[in-house]
Structure 1
Amino acid sequence: MQIDKGKVALVVGAGASAGIGGAIARRAAAEGLHVFVAGRTQEKLDALVSEIEAAGGKATAIVADTTQADDVARMFDVAEKEAGLPDLVIYNAGNNRFSPLTEMSDSFFEDLWRLCAFGGFLVGREMARRVLPEGDGVRDTQATLIFTGATASMRARPPFTAFASAKAAERALAHGMAREFGKRGLHVAHAVIDGIVDGNQVRSRLPEYLDAKGEDGGLNPDAVADAYWTLHMQNQTTWTLEMDLRPAKEEF
């Protein structure tokens, strides 16, 4: 099978520029792809698009709720109409919220599951339906779907039990999709982000925790983006289903 990086990328859960989603969007744009960045906040998306365009890249913002099937279909519709079907899709949506189990509301637990697992299902299903040939046909070029996981994808510790159950379900989704669609030309991968990301979210909410990690104690978003791009460009004889990324000094 030919290795083809394609022309269109969709980053779901792009978020702030200084984060994994923003870094992946910038990297894909630098490689010449038209990048569609999707999320719930217009202001953040517009800032990221402006940054990419200022660097000479192509980007389009799509405000959408990834837990709604109609919104997910619309993301792909917008990309296809403007530039073509995305053959690189990143599912980066997630919200690491925590609560003691006995104080947790039903909606708290369900909302985390909907964002991580159900939203991932909707995006994965939509991509498979659109990029794979009908029936059991095989693509003649490579397409890639990468799910952003977390330490919690692998183990549950209170007070992150709800988040862990949602991320574990997302991981299972990625594994199932990889086994179902890999032989047809859709490379599905799951990246375990095992550590704290040195990005805008942590810098604004938990700067002391990140500082306590010391120099290079957090994952560099641009380095994460490099690893994701490597996954996308892998030859089909050496596809990776799962990789874990962590700082050298992180205990594991």
Structure 2
Amino acid sequence: MTFKISLPSIFSSKSKFARGCAVIVDLDQDSAVVSALCAQAIRSGLVTYRVIHDPDVPKATCAIPAFEIDLPSIYAVRLDICSVDAVQSLFTDLAVAGLVPEWIVHAPTRSTSIATLTMTPKELESLWRVHGLSAFVIGQTALKAMLLHRSKRKLQRSATIIFVDAIDAIHSQPNFSGFGAVKAGVRALAQSMAREFDPQGVHIAHILLDEGDVSGEPAERFAQAVASTCWQIHTQAKEAWTQELELRPSSAAW
């Protein structure tokens, strides 16, 4: 089943020129990092989709009133990010609308603490689905779309997929064994995809966030710095490109 998105007429598939778009994936609407990523994409001229995980909603869309921007170029999309059909329907609708995916960011970084001795297999599987399976589904679907557009020469600029992850992928703390194991798997997925698809023109990077205990204005500044760095990765020269990067506030102990 395909769930249609209603787009403004300026993004009609009848347009002579394809326009680049960004897809930013998150678990909820409260992430300062994801909000900053969306703002960065819009400032850079990309039609932007903020995809929020909702296993009970196949797909719906509405404008996000979070930014003071003149152009109607951001959409909130609720869908099951673990569902191949739901994610594929989104990318199909983007293609029909004449939009070319340029910048894909998978960023469900919200950590989950579950003690090892009390964690159930069902809880571990749930963590894997939301963080691990969704990374594969988003990554695979985006790759297919990007490679298709590159073969048709509709994607002239860089094509980038970034997995924004928690530092637990390499430094798993007590009571985070399940979360850390899943995040380590996402890291391996990103490395393998990078080696396989960088020669085909798709830049794939893995960003590790160590957010520490910052809050308020410092947290907002950190989020903006993360978004700026992710955009720099998207636009960096091929002669020296980034596959993995750790980012943390200057006040964080490490």
Q: Is this a same-fold pair by TM over 0.5?
A: yes
Per residue, is there more helix in 1 or in 2? Answer: 1
- 1:122 pairs with 2:137: yes
Structure 2 CA distance for aligned equivalents of residues 94 and 78 of structure 1: 27
| Structure-2 residue corresponding to 1:31 | 44
Q: How far 1:71 moved relative to its partner?
A: 1.2
Cα shift at 1:7 = 1.9
- Superposition RMSD in Å: 2.7
Counterpart pick for 2:93 among 67, 78, 91: 78
* 1:14–1:25 Cα contact (<8 Å) kept: no
- CA distance in 1 between counterparts of 2:124 and 2:76 reads 29
Structure 2 unpaired stretches of 5+: 1-18
Determine whether 1:55 maps to 2:69: yes
Matches within 5 A, 1:227-238: 227-238=229-240
Overall identity of the aligned pairs, in %: 25
- Where does the alignment leave 5 or more consecutive residues of structure 1 unmatched? 1-5, 199-209
Q: Deviation at 1:230?
A: 0.6
Q: 1:64 to 1:169 in 2, by over 3 A?
A: same
Question: Aligned AA for 1:169?
Answer: G
User: Would the alpha carbon gap of residues 125 and 118 (structure 1) be closer, same or farther in structure 2, given more than 3 Å must change?
Assistant: same
Partner of 2:206: 190
Partner of 1:206: none
3-state SS of the aligned residue for 1:67?
A: coil
Q: Cα deviation per residue 1:229-252 (whole Å; 9 max; x = unaligned)?
A: 111111111110011101112121
Structure 2 CA distance for aligned equivalents of residues 157 and 40 of structure 1: 25
1:131 alignment counterpart: 146
Q: Distance in 2 between matches of 1:30 and 1:14?
A: 23
**C-alpha separation in 2, matches of 1:175 and 1:197:** 28
TM-score, normalised relative to structure 1: 0.81
1:194–1:176 distance in 2 versus 1, CA, 3 Å? same
Alpha-carbon distance in 1 for matches of 2:213, 2:28: 13
- Structure 1 pair 51–81 and aligned structure 2 pair: CA distance change class (3 A): farther
Give the letter for the 2:145 counterpart.
Answer: R
